[in-house]
Protein backbone atom coordinates (compact mmCIF):
# COMPACT_ATOMS: atom_id res chain seq x y z
CA UNK A 1 0.00 0.00 0.00
CA UNK A 2 1.29 3.47 -0.82
CA UNK A 3 1.96 6.15 1.78
CA UNK A 4 -1.09 8.01 0.51
CA UNK A 5 -3.53 5.21 -0.24
CA UNK A 6 -6.18 5.34 -2.91
CA UNK A 7 -9.77 5.59 -1.72
CA UNK A 8 -12.69 3.63 -3.19
CA UNK A 9 -16.02 5.38 -2.67
CA UNK A 10 -19.41 3.90 -3.49
CA UNK A 11 -22.38 6.08 -4.32
CA UNK A 12 -19.85 8.67 -5.44
CA UNK A 13 -21.83 10.40 -8.18
CA UNK A 14 -23.72 12.74 -5.87
CA UNK A 15 -24.42 13.75 -2.28
CA UNK A 16 -22.33 12.32 0.52
CA UNK A 17 -20.22 10.13 -1.76
CA UNK A 18 -19.33 13.03 -4.07
CA UNK A 19 -18.41 15.15 -1.06
CA UNK A 20 -16.10 12.40 0.24
CA UNK A 21 -14.51 12.25 -3.21
CA UNK A 22 -13.90 15.99 -3.13
CA UNK A 23 -12.38 15.94 0.34
CA UNK A 24 -10.08 12.97 -0.22
CA UNK A 25 -8.95 14.30 -3.60
CA UNK A 26 -7.99 17.58 -1.92
CA UNK A 27 -6.01 15.56 0.62
CA UNK A 28 -4.01 14.12 -2.28
CA UNK A 29 -5.56 10.64 -2.49
CA UNK A 30 -6.16 8.92 -5.81
CA UNK A 31 -9.75 7.74 -6.13
CA UNK A 32 -11.83 4.88 -7.44
CA UNK A 33 -15.39 6.12 -7.79
CA UNK A 34 -18.33 3.70 -7.95
CA UNK A 35 -21.97 4.42 -8.80
CA UNK A 36 -24.73 3.42 -11.20
CA UNK A 37 -24.78 6.72 -13.07
CA UNK A 38 -21.69 6.78 -15.27
CA UNK A 39 -22.35 10.25 -16.66
CA UNK A 40 -22.48 11.80 -13.23
CA UNK A 41 -19.35 9.90 -12.19
CA UNK A 42 -17.51 11.30 -15.20
CA UNK A 43 -18.60 14.81 -14.25
CA UNK A 44 -17.33 14.40 -10.68
CA UNK A 45 -14.08 12.82 -11.86
CA UNK A 46 -13.40 15.43 -14.54
CA UNK A 47 -13.85 18.30 -12.11
CA UNK A 48 -11.66 16.77 -9.43
CA UNK A 49 -8.92 15.78 -11.90
CA UNK A 50 -8.77 19.38 -13.10
CA UNK A 51 -8.90 20.93 -9.63
CA UNK A 52 -6.62 18.53 -7.75
CA UNK A 53 -4.55 16.56 -10.26
CA UNK A 54 -5.17 13.22 -8.57
CA UNK A 55 -5.71 10.03 -10.54
CA UNK A 56 -9.36 8.97 -10.64
CA UNK A 57 -10.76 5.70 -11.96
CA UNK A 58 -14.44 5.03 -12.53
CA UNK A 59 -16.35 1.81 -11.97
CA UNK A 60 -19.94 2.05 -13.12
CA UNK A 61 -21.81 -0.56 -11.10
CA UNK A 62 -25.18 -1.37 -9.62
CA UNK A 63 -24.26 -2.92 -6.29
CA UNK A 64 -27.43 -5.03 -6.26
CA UNK A 65 -26.32 -6.70 -9.51
CA UNK A 66 -24.21 -9.76 -8.66
CA UNK A 67 -21.91 -9.49 -11.67
CA UNK A 68 -21.34 -5.78 -11.23
CA UNK A 69 -20.64 -5.88 -7.50
CA UNK A 70 -18.26 -8.79 -8.14
CA UNK A 71 -16.16 -6.47 -10.32
CA UNK A 72 -15.91 -3.98 -7.46
CA UNK A 73 -14.99 -6.76 -5.05
CA UNK A 74 -12.23 -7.90 -7.39
CA UNK A 75 -10.83 -4.39 -7.55
CA UNK A 76 -10.80 -4.18 -3.76
CA UNK A 77 -9.06 -7.53 -3.43
CA UNK A 78 -6.45 -7.00 -6.12
CA UNK A 79 -5.58 -3.30 -6.14
CA UNK A 80 -3.09 -2.87 -3.32
CA UNK A 81 -3.08 0.88 -3.79
CA UNK A 82 -6.58 1.03 -2.28
CA UNK A 83 -6.28 1.49 1.46
CA UNK A 84 -9.60 3.14 2.31
CA UNK A 85 -13.13 1.96 1.50
CA UNK A 86 -16.02 4.39 1.89
CA UNK A 87 -19.16 2.23 1.93
CA UNK A 88 -21.61 5.01 1.17
CA UNK A 89 -24.07 3.71 -1.45
CA UNK A 90 -27.54 3.24 -0.04
CA UNK A 91 -31.19 4.02 -0.50
CA UNK A 92 -34.58 4.22 1.14
CA UNK A 93 -38.23 3.60 0.28
CA UNK A 94 -41.37 5.68 0.38
CA UNK A 95 -44.43 4.66 2.35
CA UNK A 96 -44.98 2.47 5.38
CA UNK A 97 -43.93 -1.16 5.61
CA UNK A 98 -47.36 -2.48 4.59
CA UNK A 99 -47.30 -0.20 1.55
CA UNK A 100 -43.84 -1.19 0.35
CA UNK A 101 -43.56 -3.92 -2.28
CA UNK A 102 -41.73 -7.08 -1.29
CA UNK A 103 -39.38 -6.83 -4.25
CA UNK A 104 -38.47 -3.25 -3.36
CA UNK A 105 -37.82 -4.27 0.23
CA UNK A 106 -35.50 -7.05 -0.93
CA UNK A 107 -33.67 -4.64 -3.25
CA UNK A 108 -33.17 -2.15 -0.46
CA UNK A 109 -31.86 -4.80 1.92
CA UNK A 110 -29.44 -6.00 -0.76
CA UNK A 111 -28.07 -2.49 -1.32
CA UNK A 112 -27.96 -1.27 2.27
CA UNK A 113 -26.70 -4.44 3.95
CA UNK A 114 -25.44 -7.17 1.62
CA UNK A 115 -23.43 -4.80 -0.56
CA UNK A 116 -21.86 -3.13 2.48
CA UNK A 117 -20.86 -6.48 3.99
CA UNK A 118 -19.60 -7.89 0.68
CA UNK A 119 -17.34 -4.96 -0.10
CA UNK A 120 -15.98 -4.87 3.44
CA UNK A 121 -15.39 -8.61 3.22
CA UNK A 122 -13.53 -8.19 -0.06
CA UNK A 123 -11.04 -5.66 1.26
CA UNK A 124 -10.67 -6.57 4.95
CA UNK A 125 -8.34 -9.59 4.58
CA UNK A 126 -5.87 -7.60 2.50
CA UNK A 127 -5.92 -4.64 4.88
CA UNK A 128 -5.51 -6.92 7.89
CA UNK A 129 -2.56 -8.61 6.23
CA UNK A 130 -0.98 -5.22 5.54
CA UNK A 131 -1.72 -4.04 9.08
CA UNK A 132 -3.18 -0.74 7.90
CA UNK A 133 -6.12 0.82 6.13
CA UNK A 134 -9.65 1.94 6.88
CA UNK A 135 -13.28 0.99 6.23
CA UNK A 136 -15.91 3.69 6.63
CA UNK A 137 -19.56 2.60 6.63
CA UNK A 138 -22.27 5.23 6.27
CA UNK A 139 -25.09 4.28 8.61
CA UNK A 140 -27.84 6.50 10.06
CA UNK A 141 -29.28 7.62 13.37
CA UNK A 142 -32.51 5.99 12.15
CA UNK A 143 -30.88 2.65 12.97
CA UNK A 144 -31.04 3.66 16.64
CA UNK A 145 -34.61 4.91 16.56
CA UNK A 146 -37.51 2.62 15.60
CA UNK A 147 -39.70 5.51 16.76
CA UNK A 148 -38.90 7.27 13.49
CA UNK A 149 -41.13 4.74 11.72
CA UNK A 150 -38.77 3.69 8.90
CA UNK A 151 -38.75 -0.01 9.73
CA UNK A 152 -36.77 -1.51 6.84
CA UNK A 153 -34.42 1.41 6.28
CA UNK A 154 -33.73 1.68 10.00
CA UNK A 155 -33.13 -2.05 10.28
CA UNK A 156 -30.59 -1.95 7.47
CA UNK A 157 -28.77 0.92 9.12
CA UNK A 158 -28.79 -0.85 12.48
CA UNK A 159 -27.05 -3.69 10.64
CA UNK A 160 -24.44 -1.30 9.27
CA UNK A 161 -23.69 0.15 12.70
CA UNK A 162 -23.47 -3.28 14.33
CA UNK A 163 -21.27 -4.61 11.51
CA UNK A 164 -18.96 -1.65 11.88
CA UNK A 165 -18.65 -2.06 15.63
CA UNK A 166 -18.01 -5.77 15.29
CA UNK A 167 -15.37 -5.23 12.60
CA UNK A 168 -13.75 -2.51 14.70
CA UNK A 169 -13.29 -4.96 17.56
CA UNK A 170 -11.91 -7.62 15.21
CA UNK A 171 -9.80 -5.54 12.85
CA UNK A 172 -8.68 -2.70 15.11
CA UNK A 173 -6.02 -4.82 16.87
CA UNK A 174 -4.71 -5.73 13.39
CA UNK A 175 -4.18 -2.11 12.40
CA UNK A 176 -7.38 -1.56 10.39
CA UNK A 177 -9.57 1.36 11.42
CA UNK A 178 -13.34 0.92 11.04
CA UNK A 179 -15.71 3.85 11.39
CA UNK A 180 -19.50 3.98 11.41
CA UNK A 181 -20.90 7.38 10.46
CA UNK A 182 -24.46 8.06 11.60
CA UNK A 183 -25.97 11.08 9.85
CA UNK A 184 -29.31 12.55 10.77
CA UNK A 185 -31.45 14.20 8.12
CA UNK A 186 -29.04 15.39 5.43
CA UNK A 187 -29.79 17.30 2.24
CA UNK A 188 -29.32 14.55 -0.36
CA UNK A 189 -31.35 13.06 -3.20
CA UNK A 190 -32.56 10.23 -0.97
CA UNK A 191 -35.53 12.39 -0.03
CA UNK A 192 -36.65 12.56 -3.67
CA UNK A 193 -36.84 8.77 -3.71
CA UNK A 194 -38.97 8.66 -0.57
CA UNK A 195 -41.40 11.35 -1.68
CA UNK A 196 -40.53 13.66 1.22
CA UNK A 197 -40.04 17.39 0.70
CA UNK A 198 -36.76 17.91 2.53
CA UNK A 199 -37.62 21.56 3.15
CA UNK A 200 -40.52 20.49 5.36
CA UNK A 201 -38.19 18.78 7.84
CA UNK A 202 -37.42 20.65 11.08
CA UNK A 203 -33.62 20.46 10.76
CA UNK A 204 -31.51 19.30 7.82
CA UNK A 205 -27.71 19.17 7.72
CA UNK A 206 -25.88 20.16 4.55
CA UNK A 207 -23.78 17.45 2.93
CA UNK A 208 -20.53 19.40 3.22
CA UNK A 209 -21.04 19.91 6.95
CA UNK A 210 -21.84 16.23 7.44
CA UNK A 211 -18.78 14.97 5.58
CA UNK A 212 -16.41 17.48 7.14
CA UNK A 213 -17.62 16.44 10.60
CA UNK A 214 -17.31 12.76 9.70
CA UNK A 215 -13.73 13.33 8.56
CA UNK A 216 -12.86 14.96 11.88
CA UNK A 217 -14.11 11.76 13.50
CA UNK A 218 -12.09 9.78 10.94
CA UNK A 219 -8.91 11.66 11.76
CA UNK A 220 -9.56 11.11 15.47
CA UNK A 221 -10.14 7.41 14.80
CA UNK A 222 -13.59 7.36 16.38
CA UNK A 223 -15.33 3.98 16.00
CA UNK A 224 -18.74 5.70 15.82
CA UNK A 225 -19.24 9.27 14.63
CA UNK A 226 -22.65 10.94 15.03
CA UNK A 227 -22.33 14.48 13.62
CA UNK A 228 -25.78 15.73 14.75
CA UNK A 229 -25.42 14.53 18.36
CA UNK A 230 -24.35 17.53 20.45
CA UNK A 231 -23.97 15.67 23.75
CA UNK A 232 -21.34 13.00 23.16
CA UNK A 233 -21.87 11.85 26.74
CA UNK A 234 -25.27 10.47 25.73
CA UNK A 235 -23.63 8.02 23.35
CA UNK A 236 -21.09 7.08 26.00
CA UNK A 237 -23.92 6.47 28.49
CA UNK A 238 -25.82 4.39 25.90
CA UNK A 239 -22.74 2.26 25.32
CA UNK A 240 -22.13 1.92 29.02
CA UNK A 241 -25.67 0.69 29.71
CA UNK A 242 -25.50 -1.74 26.81
CA UNK A 243 -22.19 -3.15 27.97
CA UNK A 244 -23.47 -3.44 31.54
CA UNK A 245 -26.07 -5.94 30.30
CA UNK A 246 -23.49 -8.27 28.75
CA UNK A 247 -22.79 -10.40 31.88
CA UNK A 248 -26.51 -10.95 32.29
CA UNK A 249 -26.80 -12.64 28.89
CA UNK A 250 -24.86 -15.72 30.05
CA UNK A 251 -27.33 -17.64 32.24
CA UNK A 252 -28.20 -21.30 32.60
CA UNK A 253 -31.82 -20.56 33.58
CA UNK A 254 -34.39 -18.04 32.40
CA UNK A 255 -34.81 -14.89 34.47
CA UNK A 256 -37.13 -15.26 37.46
CA UNK A 257 -39.94 -13.35 35.72
CA UNK A 258 -40.11 -16.04 33.02
CA UNK A 259 -40.30 -19.05 35.36
CA UNK A 260 -43.99 -18.68 36.03
CA UNK A 261 -46.95 -17.86 33.81
CA UNK A 262 -48.51 -15.81 36.61
Closest CA to 124 of 65, 82, 68, 160: 82
| pTM: predicted TM-score of the whole model, two decimal places | 0.94
Determine the pLDDT at residue 1.
64
Determine the pLDDT at residue 89.
95
Determine the pLDDT at residue 112.
98
Distance CA 114, CA 112 (A): 6
- What dotted CATH number matches 6-237? 3.40.50.720
Active-site choice (153, 177, 230, 238): 153
Determine the pLDDT at residue 192.
66
Q: Which residues of 142-176 are buried (b: 16+ CB within 10 A; e: fewer)?
A: bbbeeeeebbbbbbbbbbbbebbbebbeebeeeeb
Chain mean position to CA 252: 37
Closest CA to 70 of 140, 32, 122: 122
- Listed as ranges, residues in the chain with pLDDT below 50 are none
The residues with which 85 forms a beta bridge, in sequence order, are 8, 135
Determine the pLDDT at residue 195.
64
Question: To 5 degrees, how large is the angle CA 17–CA 77–CA 225?
Answer: 40
Judge whether 177 counts as a catalytic residue.
no
**Per-residue pLDDT tens digits for 178-208:** 999 999 888 887 766 666 677 777 888 999 9
The region that residue 11 occupies, defined by phi over 0 for left and psi between -120 and 50 for alpha, beta otherwise, is: left
Distance CA 79, CA 99 (A): 43
Determine the pLDDT at residue 3.
86
Report CA-CA distances (Å) from 155 to 43, 115, 232.
Answer: 33, 15, 23
Amino acid sequence: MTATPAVLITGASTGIGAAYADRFARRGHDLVLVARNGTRLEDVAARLREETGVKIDILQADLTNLEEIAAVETRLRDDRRIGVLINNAGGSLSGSFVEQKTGDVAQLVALNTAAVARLASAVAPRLAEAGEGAIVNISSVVGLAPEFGMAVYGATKAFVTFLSQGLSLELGPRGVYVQAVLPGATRTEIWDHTGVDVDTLPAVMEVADLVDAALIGFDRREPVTIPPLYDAGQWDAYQGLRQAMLPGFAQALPAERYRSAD
